[in-house]
Structure 1
Amino acid sequence: MTGYSIDKARLTDWLGDGLELAVLDIRPTEEVGYASPLFATNLPAERLDAELDRFVPRRVVRTVLVDGGDGTAEAAVTRLRQTGWTNIHVLEGGIPAWVEEGEDKLPTFDIPGVAFVTKVRDERGTPVVSAVELKALRDQGQDVIVLDTRTLGEYEKAHVPGAVGVPGAELLLHFKDLVPSTETKVVVSCAGLPRAILGAQTLIDAGVENAVAYLDDGTRGWTDAGLDLETGRTATYHEATETARRFASEYGKSLSAKDGLTFLDRQTVETWKADPVRTTYLLDVRTPDEFARSNLPGSISSEGGQLLGVSYRTIAVRGARVVLVDDLLGSRARIVAHWLARRGFEIAILLHDFGAEERAAA
């Protein structure tokens, strides 16, 4: 081992000291899976040199690379220290050493999504329907709509038949177009629990008049009940109408009425980014397509619905400031801020008139 290695006890201390810290699991993505056991940012070894600056914007931040116990991290640390990463370390023994005595009481880099949302559900009493109950409602001819809050790519692969694909951060922006009647029962779905619970509770917290519930265990619960899923982009949202945008503005403000949001201007954001002692992320929570059309220099595309459920995939520095970038309406940023602030993130919002830039370029 090099002099840059740390043991399990040291990493445990660092995870609890509240200071800025980046932990990156550099194993292949297929080996890491969802996130277990550290809930750290996955950046495979072959992408480290090209992308580490994106995930850890300041090279002086304490950074720990974790591998599969094969020495990959040690070689990477040696190489990266020669290119200006002065505070980068390797976890001795990697993941095998970390889980050697079991995973039950181990600290994690980020709060596991399921643990957070089930706490939200239990505290708020988020209504729920089972797959069998949903099917019965449909068979009875009830006025009910299913909103699938995953990415459109996930939705396309398989979803509850008749569900409409509308990623979680887009819910308020497109709600009135998709659900014009207040009498319609709304069931929010995902693949399991996290995004469905947060989606349903977002609508409830915003004060929509409809009855709202989440689908218990999402698409998994549907198939476990012996029911078939549907494939393809059978029904998704479209560009929001003015009526929908007015609704999103009103209910977005209602959602965040007690959140104490901080709104920044461009100059303040640039000052934050230049701060030599704090890390600041500039995360664009609009859709990837919108980001591709127009974006702010230095910002990262981080679709809001995904950021809610798997923030560790983008925010690699714990203790960093997070600036959410959105259009002037700001409904996506309000949803993301509503939940990430409750998870302990320091959140601010930057609203920008992307439409003006697109009109100028036309």
Structure 2
Amino acid sequence: MTLPTVTPQDIRSALLLRWEIALLDIRQEAEFATGHPLFAANMAAGRITLEAELRLPRKDVPIVLCDNGEGLVGAASAQFRALGYDNVRALAGGLEGWRSAGYELFQDVNSYAKAFGELVEARRHTPSLSADEVASLIAAKANIAILDVRRFDEYATMNIPGSVSVPGAELVLRAGHAAPDPDTTIIVNCAGRTRSIIGTQSLINAGLPNKVRALRNGTIGWTLARHNLEHGADRRGGVGPFDGASDNARDVAYRAGVRRIGASELAALRQEAHRTLYRFDVREADEYAAGHLAGFRHYAGGQLVQEIDMAAPVRGARIVLTDDRSIRADMTASWLAQMGWEVYVLDGGYDGSLEVGPPQVLPKGDPAHRYRRPYEGTDVAEQAMQAYLEWEYGLVDQLRRDGTHGFYVI
């Protein structure tokens, strides 16, 4: 069977018009990270049967497969057809066809979320402090609170001394507990740049009374400045929103264009079989396991913003978020809306029957084919870390050249 093709120009048009499309790069993650279109999502050919039905919930969604001339597309399309996907095509000419059309290729993983983070900093002038400035504040025992917005396992591997784990979407919910004194300066850090920029700007957008600063370049910048990291820390930030946090988070979501819906509107969205609908519970994993709404997949809010290409590879789809406290869903939705998604927050629902059980977790891939992030672990070469930062610094210009992103910043 000859697989139909779609041109790079047609894909670009679909992206600009916000039509649904799943542009899937089926190479291994390490190869994907060497260069791909901005809105391509990685689904390695060997993982299609594991991942497709979770990540592509609508069987007739337009799927476009690409590789870099390795000859993977034919067998991959057969796997999709065997799973019931009936609208599968190939990118004409593969990645070389994309290059030949004059279009941009983006390196690394989660590239468009990282590019968006750089755009936020450029547009909002998100304030930051250097590693040396933060180290001086720590040494002087200044009135500061350092909040680490990465996943807890990342934090436990290595962290800024004295910092507390408050994963991204939890910030507005927990900042009042972490820094009850409005004179305390809050410093937000991640491993590199994106999550600390988004976290810092989240607190600013939500009207936290404290001064808030990002640790510029995160643990990478800290390491390059020759400061020591802690290992094995287990400090977690408690729940304690600041005054007005809930109303402020809702206002931020409204300003970003997020719509709030109830059960009847959610049912109406589900009935529209011609549209892809993603439903995510953005709370912590233990809260989800204790009781969640049927049909909602767990994806902690901060990671959802960072990994939206992994969670929702159908660009142009709809997203509904839920959270029993609302704050996390509102803040997460505000960022997804600015990234060009049609996103809703579901009101209520937790007073009825809930499903109980842990989040669904996809099996990890072969480590030999995994892209080693330059910001993870404790044995990364300094040259790789510096190169990663320089790549991030260039993303705003690359977005401008690409021209398909449709991002805006409130």
Q: TM-score, normalised by structure 1?
A: 0.87
CA contact (8 A) 2:36 2:106 kept: no
Give the superposition deviation at 1:222.
Answer: 0.3
User: Per-residue CA shift, 1:259-279, capped at 9, x if unaligned?
Assistant: 454211223212212212222
Question: Match of 1:90?
Answer: 90
- How many Å apart are 1:221 and its aligned residue? 0.6
In the alignment, the residues of structure 1 paired with residue 295 and residue 6 of structure 2 have an alpha-carbon distance, to the nearest angstrom, of 32
Task: Please give the root-mean-square deviation of Cα atoms over the aligned residues, in Å.
Answer: 3.0
Q: Partner of 1:348 in structure 2?
A: 344
Contact 1:172 1:251 (8 Å CA) reproduced: no
Determine the C-alpha separation between the residues in 2 that align with 1:181 and 1:349.
Answer: 31
Q: Which residue of 1 aligns with 2:119?
A: 119
1:326 partner letter: D
Gaps of 5+ in 2: 358-410
Change (3 A) 1:83 1:184: closer
Shift, 1:58, TM fit? 1.4
Equivalent residue pairs, number: 356
Which of residues 289, 302, 305 is equivalent to 1:305?
302
- CA–CA distance in 2 between the matches of 1:35 and 1:246? 45
Query: C-alpha displacement at 1:218, in angstroms?
Result: 0.6
1:257, distance to aligned residue in structure 2 (A) = 5.5
Contact 1:37 1:103 in 2 (8 A): no
Partner of 1:46: 46
**CA 1:220–1:111: 2 relative to 1, 3 Å:** closer
Q: Is 1:333 equivalent to 2:329 in the alignment?
A: yes
- How many angstroms apart in 1 are the aligned matches of 2:195 and 2:47? 28
Partner SS for 2:2: coil
Matches within 5 A, 1:110-259: 112-238=112-238, 240=239, 244=241, 248-256=245-253, 258-259=255-256
How far residue 226 of structure 1 moved from its aligned partner, in angstroms, is: 0.8
Offset at 1:255?
A: 3.5
Q: How far off its partner does 1:93 sit?
A: 5.3
Moved more, 48-57 or 222-231: 48-57
Q: Is the 8 A contact 1:29 1:42 kept in 2?
A: yes
What SS class does the counterpart of residue 317 from structure 1 fall into?
Answer: coil
> What CA distance in whole angstroms lies between the structure 1 residues aligned with 2:191 and 2:338?
23
- Aligned equivalent of 1:273: 270
User: Does the CA contact (< 8 Å) of 2:35 and 2:106 recur in 1?
Assistant: no
Distance change >3 Å, CA 103–CA 33, structure 1 → 2: farther
Q: Report how far residue 156 of structure 1 moved.
A: 1.5
Per-residue CA deviations over 1:210-232 (Å, capped at 9, x if unaligned) read 11111110111101101121122
For 1:111 and 1:220, how far apart are their aligned partners in 2? 18
- Equivalent residue, structure 1, for 2:32: 32
For residues 19-38 of structure 1, the C-alpha deviation after alignment (integer angstroms, 9 at most, x for no partner) is 11011222223443498554
Which stretch has the larger CA shift, 345-354 or 101-110? Answer: 101-110
SS of 2:259's equivalent? coil
Measured in 1, the distance between the counterparts of 2:69 and 2:280 equals 32
Code of the aligned partner of 2:323:
D
Q: 1:14 to 1:255 in 2, by over 3 A?
A: closer
Cα separation, 2, equivalents of 1:360 and 1:298: 12
Match of residue 104 from structure 2:
105
- Whether the 8 Å CA contact 1:281–1:322 is kept in 2: the answer is yes
Q: What letter matches 1:316 in structure 2?
A: P
What is the CA–CA distance in structure 2 between the aligned matches of 1:3 and 1:261, rounded to whole Å?
38
Q: Alignment partner of 2:260: what SS?
A: coil
Change (3 A) 1:102 1:136: farther
Amino acid at match of 1:88: V
Report if the CA contact (8 A) 1:202-1:255 is conserved.
no
Distance 2:110 2:169 in 1: 20
Separation (CA, whole Å) in 1 of partners of 2:254 and 2:38: 34
Do 2:149 and 2:196's aligned partners in 1 also have CA atoms closer than 8 Å?
yes
Q: Mark the CA change 1:153 to 1:98 in structure 2 (over 3 Å): closer, same or farther.
A: farther
Q: Structure 1 315/167 Cα, relative in aligned 2: closer, same or farther at 3 Å?
A: same
Distance in structure 1 (CA, Å) of the matches to 2:213 and 2:11:
40
How far apart, CA to CA, are the structure 2 residues paired with 1:94 and 1:4? Answer: 13
TM-aligned CA distance change 1:79 to 1:118, over 3 Å? closer
Q: CA deviation at 1:359?
A: 12
Larger displacement relative to structure 2 (189-198 or 228-237): 228-237
Q: What corresponds to 2:260 in structure 1?
A: 263
Q: Which secondary structure does the structure 2 equivalent of 1:307 belong to?
A: helix
- Whichever residue aligns with residue 290 of structure 2, its letter is R
Deviation at 1:286, TM superposition (A): 1.1
Structure-1 residue corresponding to 2:285: 288
Gaps (5+ residues) in structure 1?
none
Question: Identity of aligned pairs, percent?
Answer: 34
Q: Distance in 1 between matches of 2:338 and 2:91?
A: 30
